[in-house]
Amino acid sequence: MAFSQSDLLQGTLDLLILKALALEQLHGMGISRRITQIANGTFAVKAGSLFPALHRMEEAAWLTSTWGESETNRRAKFYRLTKSGRSRLSSETERWERISLAMASALRAT
CA 95, chain centre distance (Å) = 15
Q: At 67, which CATH number? A: 1.10.10.10
Angle, helix 12-20 to helix 47-59, in steps of 10 degrees: 80
Domain span at residue 53 reads 5-108
**Predicted local distance difference test score (pLDDT) of residue 110:** 82
Domain count, the chain: 1
Q: Which residue has the higher pLDDT, 8 or 12?
A: 12
Mean of pLDDT over the chain: 90
CA 20/CA 14 separation, integer angstroms: 10
CB-based contact 69:75 (threshold 8 Å): yes
Q: Which of 4-8, 46-50, 57-61 has the highest mean pLDDT?
A: 57-61
- Reduced to 3 states (helix: H, G, I; strand: E, B; else coil), residue 92 is helix
Over residues 65-93, the pLDDT tens digits come to: 999 999 899 999 999 999 999 999 999 99
pLDDT of 103 above 80: yes
